Amino acid sequence: MPLFVLLIASLLFGISSLANSAEKTGTQTYVEGFQTFLGSSVDTGQVRAFNLTASPIEIMQDGETVTRWAYNGQLPGPILRVQKGDRVQVTLTNQLPQNTTIHWHGVRVPNAMDGVPFLTQIPVKPGKSFTYDFVPQDAGTYWFHPHVRGHEQLERGLYGTLIVEDEFEGKYDQDLVWMLDDVLTEDDGSLDEDFDFKFLDTGGRLGNIITINGENTPKFTFKAGERIRLRIVNPSNARNYRLSFANLPSAIIAVDGNLVGEPQQVEIFDIVPGNRVDIDLTIPENLEGQSVHIANTFFHREASGSALEGPQTIAKISIVGKVAKPKTFPLPVHTAVPDWTNALNEKPDFIFDFDTAFDISSLWTNKAFVSFTINNKVFGDHDITQLKNNKFYRMRFNNGTGLYHPVHIHGVFFKVLARDGVPVNEPYFRDTALLDYDGSLDIGVVPADLGEWLSHCHLLEHAALGMKSTINVTD
Ligand SMILES: [Cu+2]
């Protein structure tokens, strides 16, 4: 080979490898930022064992006996509290008439503990047990629910909270969980038990009653001057919420578990199915003796018939008495949330088109004639998205359906980079984010746990009709 060809070749090679390494350096910053955010792993040496039995229960509702499904006979299910680094062992016993599993929503568990039937485990048959075993490494508010017939099993009442405690435990006057759900009932107060395809070709199952911890418009009594950590979880099949705390000072201090880099405004945050937000709520000292209504202001464009629509009161707070000394510590924040503003300069590595497909032959039958697709495929025929561990990826989700889709990816935290093409700088990570009905969502993600993980719409009727795929994280 002539010398000048070699020279040009080596020059070209040199330039292209230089370009590659520049590119790598850019995204490597995001990887390192995320690793710093997660911090080093912890092992307390403690084992925390719990039993969860899923079974039908009978409860009284408006003077009638109605049947729901529950963990340990409790509706909502128990609150499990553990320390970061504890070994958590939960034995699930299935006393339901169906198979079930438990998915630990938002918790980075070993893949085999993720609770997805036929992907990470064989489902637990009626009468059988399975023990989940994992060591949570991220403090915050998480939740658990079945991943078998989710649109039925969650609606019937199977969900609970997992709190991984952080350094702010015990600093608040009260630490409360609000499971914010909506249920669809018959006129006699019993659950509407049509879990066939009645709702599945729509915006999902919107209930006619909004409940907090199973109660319709509950009353809470707080003291003037109290500082409350309110952990809100949305286990609803399809409903989004926006909360208004009226004249009570409030701020979001955590999203989907982790603390935020800067406190967020409660009134503009869409709490979509799967999301958790921790709210720092202060009861002003001068409100003693007064009452305050907490409202849901989200307007669902699909709502019709008996589906309730905001704004409406979902809880009433009576302020009785006064604390001796109000707590004055600053709002908790995570000090290592990386800035990924420039991540939009990277090209999308993957594009996911959310759409619908129709099967005319099922029209006028009891079967759904619509399926919900990702890149024109339903779960089972889906493409597996291949990812490398500890590498940055930019993903784009496009919505061609005119319906809301809460996008949830198992096994990762991700950051929203743009919504409907407009850059946003959310100073926090999530595991679930809303793909708006006519919009798009751009996210950045650094996988940190190996295995094939489910990625799906958390509107449970859409998931049931195919809107699921997987990401496979390898070394
Ligand atoms: Cu959806």
In this model, does residue 21 exceed pLDDT 80? Answer: no
Tell me, in angstroms, the distance from the centre of ligand 1 to residue 467's CA. Answer: 7
Correct CATH for 341-474 of 1.10.630.10, 3.90.230.10, 2.60.40.420, 2.40.50.140: 2.60.40.420
Whether 39-165 and 169-334 share one fold: the answer is yes
More confident residue, 68 or 194: 68
Q: What is the pLDDT of residues 249-296, one digit of tens each?
A: 999 999 999 999 999 999 999 999 999 999 999 999 999 999 999 999
- pLDDT attached to residue 195: 86
Tokens of 64: 């009638």
Confidence class of residue 218 from pLDDT cuts 50, 70 and 90?
very high
368 falls in which pLDDT band (50, 70, 90)?
A: low
CB–CB of 239/207 below 8 Å? Answer: yes
Mean pLDDT of the chain: 91
3-state secondary structure of 111: helix
pLDDT-derived band at 5 (thresholds 50, 70, 90) equals very low
User: What is the whole-number distance in angstroms between the Cα of residue 165 and the centre of ligand 1?
Assistant: 31
Rounded CA separation 177/179 (Å): 6
How far away, in angstroms, is 236 Cα from ligand 1 center?
13
What is the distance between the alpha carbons of residues 332 and 252, in angstroms, rounded to a whole number? 10
CA of 185 relative to ligand 1 center, distance in Å: 22
Q: 169-334 adopts what CATH topology? A: Immunoglobulin-like (2.60.40)
CA of 106 to the centre of ligand 1 (A): 18
Beta strand ranges found along 305-360 (DSSP E): 312-322, 350-358
CA of 59 to the centre of ligand 1 (A): 31
**Ligand 1 center–CA 436 separation, angstroms:** 10
| Choice among 21-35, 93-107, 444-458 with the minimum mean pLDDT | 21-35
- How much is the pLDDT for 309? 67
The Å distance, Cα 462 to ligand 1 centre, comes to 5
Please tell me the distance between residue 374's alpha carbon and the centre of ligand 1 in angstroms: 10
Q: Provide the pLDDT for residue 299.
A: 86
**Structure confidence at residue 14 (pLDDT):** 44
| For residues 53-60, average pLDDT | 94
348 CA distance to ligand 1 middle (Å): 21
Whether the pLDDT of residue 458 is over 60: the answer is yes
Instruction: Please determine, for residue 375, whether its predicted confidence score (pLDDT) is greater than 90.
Output: yes
Residues 117 and 101 sit within 8 Å (Cβ to Cβ): yes
From ligand 1's centre to the CA of 168, what distance in Å? 35
> Taking a C-beta distance cutoff of 8 angstroms, is the pair 205, 151 a contact?
yes
**How far is ligand 1, taken at its centre, from the CA of residue 435, in Å?**
8
Q: State the Cα–Cα distance between residues 372 and 235, nearest whole angstrom.
A: 21
The CA 204 to ligand 1 mean position distance, Å, reads 8
For every residue of 118-173, DSSP letters joined together read TTTBPPBPTT-EEEEEE---S-EEEEEE-SSSHHHHTTTT--EEEEEE-TTTTTSS
* Mean pLDDT confidence for 437-445: 95
pTM for this entry: 0.92
- What is the spatial distance between Cα 80 and Cα 122, in angstroms, rounded to a whole number? 24
The Å distance, Cα 212 to ligand 1 centre, comes to: 24
Q: For 12-16, 313-317, 377-381, 399-403, which range has the lowest pLDDT when averaged over its residues?
A: 12-16
Separation of CA 468 and ligand 1 centre (Å): 9
What integer pLDDT is reported at residue 365 of this predicted model? 64
Please, is 465 exposed, middle or buried when counting C-beta atoms within 10 Å of its C-beta (0-12, 13-18, 19+)? buried
Ligand 1 centroid to Cα of residue 430, in Å, is 17
Query: What is the per-residue pLDDT for 434?
Result: 97
Tell me, in angstroms, the distance from the centre of ligand 1 to residue 263's CA: 29
* pLDDT greater than 50 at residue 186: yes
Mean pLDDT of the region 127-149: 98
pLDDT of residue 302: 66
Is 221 exposed, middle or buried (CB count within 10 Å of its CB: 0-12, 13-18, 19+)?
exposed
CA of 459 to the centre of ligand 1 (A): 5
Q: How far is CA 341 from CA 29, 31, 429, in A?
A: 12, 14, 13
Quote the CA–CA distance of 84 and 222 in Å, as a whole number.
Answer: 29
What is the Å distance from ligand 1's center to 60 Cα? 33
- How far, in Å, is the centroid of ligand 1 from the Cα of 199? 12
Neighbour-count burial for 303-316, b at 16+ CB within 10 Å, e otherwise: beeebbebeeebbe
Q: What do you get for the CA distance between the two ends of the chain, in Å?
A: 39
Residue 138: pLDDT over 80: yes
422-426 average pLDDT score: 95
- pLDDT > 70 fraction of the chain, expressed in percent and rounded: 90
* pLDDT score at 61: 76
Ligand 1 geometric centre to CA of 276 (Å): 18
pLDDT at 421 over 70: yes
Domain 39-165 listed as CATH 2.60.40.420: yes
- The ranges assigned to domains in the chain are 39-165, 169-334, 341-474
| Dist. CA 405 → ligand 1 center (Å) | 4
Cα(432) to centroid(ligand 1), Å: 12
How many angstroms separate the CA atoms of 13 and 165, rounded?
52
pLDDT for the residue 187: 84
Measured CA to CA, the distance from residue 355 to residue 394 in angstroms comes to: 20
